[in-house]
Amino acid sequence: MTNRITSVQNAQFKQWRKLHQAKYRKRLQTYLIEGEHLVEEALKHLPEAAFEALIISENYRGELIAEDKVDYIITQSMSDQLSQTPANQGVFAVLKMPLSDSLPQDGTHYLLIDNVQDPGNVGTMIRTADAFNYDAVILGEGSVDIYNDKVLRATQGSIWHLPVLTQNLRDSIKILKHKNIPILATTLNEQAVSYQSLDSFNACAIIMGNEGQGVSSELIKFADQSVYIPMPGQSESLNVAVATGILLSKFVNN
């Protein structure tokens, strides 16, 4: 059954707009996605029960969603208010949390993200972990909210291809060590070796840190090996998503 909403005062619509803010997402345990590609990926990878609402603008002419599956039609101006992108495509979904809450039992390759703040970087790191077939991505508690719209957009849908969870990284590391998974941390300290000097691993967990400060010293202590990426040029550092790509393409999960 499709409902038409025409007033910005509509309670439902007001609630969707609140999902732009992390505190309401947490309270309502839902999150908002938009755009043909992301909604298509969600439809492909999530069970029907994960969808709270499928919403289109009155001007939406795409064929992504069968007419009888559309829950709400909103006006174009409401659609522009709901959108958080410069190129609003007029198609949205409200989805139920959580994405995932436990580590895969039989995983071998893990990406751990320690305190990375930029949503585009975090989303790109998740997309990269997916590309190289990693089994899960774990964000430490200080990192950006995974339900942030810019994170979700930058993942390009990878967020639904592998478990992505938020966890205290010390706890994650304990669990991974218990599974005998070697822990690598990116750093520049004296014990660090060039990533190129290492062979691939049958299993590994790679910790990537905040761009300014790197991996926190507390977590480096738990690492079995510190690695760095040699850079012969003048740049002081790499973008953290680029560094992640270089390491994950080397330690790919084939």
| Candidate segments 64-72, 86-94, 98-106, 123-131, binder of its own copies by CB under 8 A | 123-131
Is 236 among the residues that bind its own copies (CB under 8 A)? yes
Q: Which of 60, 132, 201, 251 touches its own copies by CB under 8 A?
A: 132
Beta partners for residue 209, in sequence order? 114
Residues in the chain: 254
Least distance between its own copies and beta carbon 173 (Å): 23
Is 210 among the residues that bind its own copies (CB under 8 A)? no
Strands ordered across the beta sheet of 72-74: 3-5, 72-74, 51-57, 91-96, 30-34
Q: Which of 130, 143, 152, 172 touches its own copies by CB under 8 A?
A: 130
| Candidate segments 20-28, 49-57, 80-88, 237-245, binder of its own copies by CB under 8 A | 237-245
Strands ordered across the beta sheet of 193-194: 164-166, 136-139, 109-114, 204-209, 183-186, 225-228, 193-194
* Ranges assigned E (strand) in the chain: 3-5, 30-34, 51-57, 72-74, 91-96, 109-114, 136-139, 164-166, 183-186, 193-194, 204-209, 225-228
For residue 195, give the amino acid letter.
Y
* Ranges assigned E (strand) in 154-203: 164-166, 183-186, 193-194
Identify the helix (H) or strand (E) that includes residue 120.
Answer: helix 119-131
Q: Which of 127, 138, 176, 205 touches its own copies by CB under 8 A?
A: 127
Is 148 among the residues that bind its own copies (CB under 8 A)? no
The count of residues interacting with its own copies (CB under 8 A) is 36
Cβ proximity to its own copies: between 60 and 132 the closer is: 132
Cβ proximity to its own copies: between 47 and 232 the closer is: 232
Q: Are 129 and 160 in contact (CB under 8 A)?
A: no
Least distance between its own copies and beta carbon 157 (Å): 8
Least distance between its own copies and beta carbon 174 (Å): 26
Q: Are 54 and 65 in contact (CB under 8 A)?
A: yes
Report the SS3 class of residue 166.
strand
Least distance between its own copies and beta carbon 212 (Å): 10
Q: Which of 116, 154, 176, 204 touches its own copies by CB under 8 A?
A: 154
Query: What are the residues binding its own copies (CB under 8 A)?
Result: 120, 124, 127-134, 154, 156, 158, 161-162, 229-239, 241-246, 249, 252-254
